[in-house]
Structures are given as C-alpha cells and as structure tokens.
Amino acid sequence: MAPRLFNVYCDESCHLEHDGVPVMAWGAVYCPADASRAISEAVRTLKAEHGLAHDFEAKWTKVSPAKADFYLALIDLFLNDERLRFRGL
C-alpha cells in the first residue's frame, strides 16, 4: 500500500515575545495532496464570485461587512468538504 501524502498549511497567532498576550496558538489545515488543486480552485472561484483578487489573503483581521459573505462562503466550503481537516494547539 502506497503512503498517503497530505498538504499541510500552518499559521500561528500572538507569537511576538513582547506583545502583551500571554498565549499563543498554532493552527493547521490539511488535505490529501491529490485534492489540493481542486480545493485551491474552489477558493479562487469563491474569491472571484465575491469580487476579490485571486491573490487576496483571507485573514480574520480583514473581515468586514463588505467581505462577510465571502468569509461565510469560505467557512461553508471548509465545513462541507470532507477532504479538509483542521488541527489547533
């Protein structure tokens, strides 16, 4: 049986030593490597449908009333695609 390959996308929050926040968080979204292209295309399609540039970086600090529908659609995509998984520490 061949090993399964996964693409893992990680990020951290509150990682600055002197930012006054006593906690740090790490998160990772991962998917099977062979699903990565289709998932990326689905995200690009969502961006286009909501009038965002293909290179728009989705960040929670960028959520605004004007972009709320995009972020809700992105959450729906994540929750409805069984190939996507999340882990946080």
1 in any annotated domain: no
CA distances from 38 to 19, 35, 43, 46, 50 (A): 38, 6, 9, 12, 19
pLDDT value of position 30:
97
Residue 23 in contact with residue 82, Cβ under 8 Å?
no
63 in any annotated domain: yes
38 in any annotated domain: yes
69 in any annotated domain: yes
Show the domain range for 17: 6-88
**Res. 2 pLDDT band, cuts 50 70 90:** confident
State the total domains in the chain: 1
- Taking only the tens place, the pLDDT of each residue in 32-88 is 999 999 999 999 999 999 999 999 999 888 899 999 999 999 999 999 999 999 999
56 in any annotated domain: yes
